[in-house]
Structure 1
Amino acid sequence: MTGSDPTHETDTDTFGGRPTEAGAPTETTFGHLTVLEDVSHEQVPEVEEDAYFHRPATSDHTDVDIVTRALEASMNVVLKGPPGVGKSFLARYLCARTNRPLYRITLSETTYREDLLGHMHLVTAPGGESVTEWVDGPLTRAVREGGVLLLDEINAADANTVAALNAVMESHRTRSLTIPQTGETIIPHEEFRVVATANPGYQGTYELNAAFEDRFRHVELDYLPAELEVDLVFRRSDLSREREPDVERLVAFAGRLREAYLDGELSTPITTRELVRIATFMEDGFMDLVTATRSELLARVHAHDESLVETLIDKQL
């Protein structure tokens, strides 16, 4: 039995087919990560080259520097931070830039091992009889093909599901994956990696045990610096640059709401995507700043957040 519709960025009907391996390593790197040969693998994401803003992280290094360095060193990575900072998008972006197949699953209490590993599937044989065959899940396919397994909300899964990952995330020389239903043991492809995302300390999440956490290189992500977020809003909307003072006010206002969220005053996070939608409704004078903000946020925040958000809009915008 499998869980209730976990999110996969794959067509599960193709899992049973012959896997296509990731391309061979080239002499080119992106950040610190080797670019693989482009073999037109169907699971390599399509993301524009300038779609992700590299943000300052440690010393003179960016988040992209740190994550690509870890992946190149055969480490698995967990990206931590509040919702809407681009954790999953960073994984997609790096896979797109380096031609790596990406298999994504969003974890929850109703995600089971079978959702990761795969399942037996009833099919009709050429002779007309019904037979069962094994269908690879996203973990198994990434292991076979040298892909990246993206585990969204790793700390929302229960311990039994997470335990399915223990052996495959051992050190590079000793890792393996065994499929109990078939008895097959797979030695992971050289390029196989795990990237996870986590929203630490938020409702509906669990503490990961220390042994499992130790299998990851931890990277903290935060919202973009204000000047970069302003630039991003203009890049992703058709709003005239003449409205820059309004967008600067909007980004500063979002910063205040994010502080309220982190302090527990609000239960709804405010993301850059919402700021872009607000800017879109400001295009061509369709709405002013306050009206567009009110229209977007009051319709989306939780009911018990509406009063505070409305008050802050009135006071700060």
Structure 2
Amino acid sequence: MTVNNFRLTTEAGSPAPFYRAAGPEVEIFRAAARRGSPVLLKGPTGCGKTRFVEAMAHDLGRELITVAGHEDMTSADLVGRFLLKGGETVWVDGPLTRAVREGAICYLDEIVEARQDTTVVIHPLADHRRELPIDRLGTTLSAAPGFQLVISYNPGYQSILKSLKDSTRQRFVAISLDFPAAEIETEVVAQEAGIDESTAGSLVALGNAIRNLDGAALSEVASTRMLILAGGLVAEGLHLLDAVQSAVVEVLSDDPDVIRGLGELVDAVLPRR
């Protein structure tokens, strides 16, 4: 298994987003990009899907256009619409159309939140055609060189009403991401939060303890993102226990009994200092 410490620098000298690979995901994405193949990212909330796409966009030297999926999203939100400007009706490209024209990476985050009749618009872009029909303009755009479609979702949220159609899934190269191994997650939390590895290791130990709870009344577990937020508070001078209470425990539940139970777990896992 290949492990990469993924930090890149743009031509202007600004550092790219830090990404610590835990498997072959970087190589898979690069290979898919060379073929122009679309990529599907699967993984729990806060495990680094968005950061991975940001890092890959830097690696490939491509502009990244991100769209957050939601239940009210329409095809016009992606493709574009006519708007009134200065008394005239003008066409305004949506983010997907702009990415197609400019050869950018278009990242549709949490795609299952959008209506299925909306996601069908990406089908011609996600197969050999690499085309985007724009019915309102009576035209079809061919994707510019460099265009790539990336979508993501959290399998834990899937249901009969919110799932990805087989006709959509089978057009994509799929990459599964998860919370990384403890040593890698510790490095990520330390780097992103700006704290020492000992403190980061304590936060990761707590995160794994919460993830391993049996029968817990939690809709989500402690994500890497949460641990980074807690670490950021520590970096600003807040006590570790107070940071965890605010950024992890109170975020995971509103139930007093669950909060009390999480507090007991925190006391058992985190060092008092």
TM-score (norm 2): 0.85
Indicate conservation of the 8 Å contact 1:177/1:187, yes or no.
yes
**Equivalent residue, structure 2, for 1:116:** 78
Match of 2:22 in 1: 55
Residues in 2 aligned to 1:298 and 1:49: alpha-carbon distance in whole angstroms: 31
Give, in whole Å, the separation in 2 of the partners of 1:77 and 1:47: 26
**More deviation, 162-171/144-153:** 162-171
- Residue among 228, 233, 238 paired with 2:189: 233
**Identity across matched positions, percent:** 29
User: Match for 2:241 among 287, 290, 301?
Assistant: 290
- The structure 1 residue matched to 2:124, chosen from 167, 173, 193, is 167
Equivalents in 2 of 1:181, 1:284: separation in Å? Answer: 52
- Kept in 1, the 8 Å contact 2:46–2:226? The answer is no
- The answer on whether the counterparts of 2:110 and 2:153 sit within 8 Å (CA) in structure 1 is yes
Aligned length: 259
Displacement of 1:278: 2.4
User: Secondary structure, in 3 states, of the residue corresponding to 2:88?
Assistant: strand
Aligned 1:189-200 pairs, distance under 5 A: 189-200=144-155
**Corresponding residue number in structure 2 for 1:92:** 54
1:169–1:175 CA contact under 8 A, matched in 2? yes
1:302 alignment partner in structure 2: 253
* Cα shift readout 1:133-164 (whole Å, capped 9, x = no counterpart): 11000111111111111000011111111111
Q: Are residues 313 and 136 of structure 1, via their aligned partners in 2, closer, same or farther at CA, if it must alter by over 3 Å?
A: same
Q: Distance between the aligned counterparts of 2:116 and 2:16, measured in 1?
A: 37
Give me the whole-angstrom Cα distance separating, in 2, the residues matched to 1:294 and 1:65: 38
What amino acid is aligned across from residue 219 of structure 1 in structure 2? I
Could you list the structure 1 runs, at least 4 aligned residues long, displaced by more than 6 angstroms after superposition: none
Equivalences for 1:139-218 in 2 at 5 Å? 139-171=96-128, 174-202=129-157, 206-218=162-174
CA RMSD of aligned residues (A): 2.6
Counterpart Cα distance in 1 of 2:15 and 2:61: 13
* Structure 1 position 95, deviation (Å): 0.9
Aligned to 2:267: 314
CA distance in 1, matches of 2:261, 2:126: 44
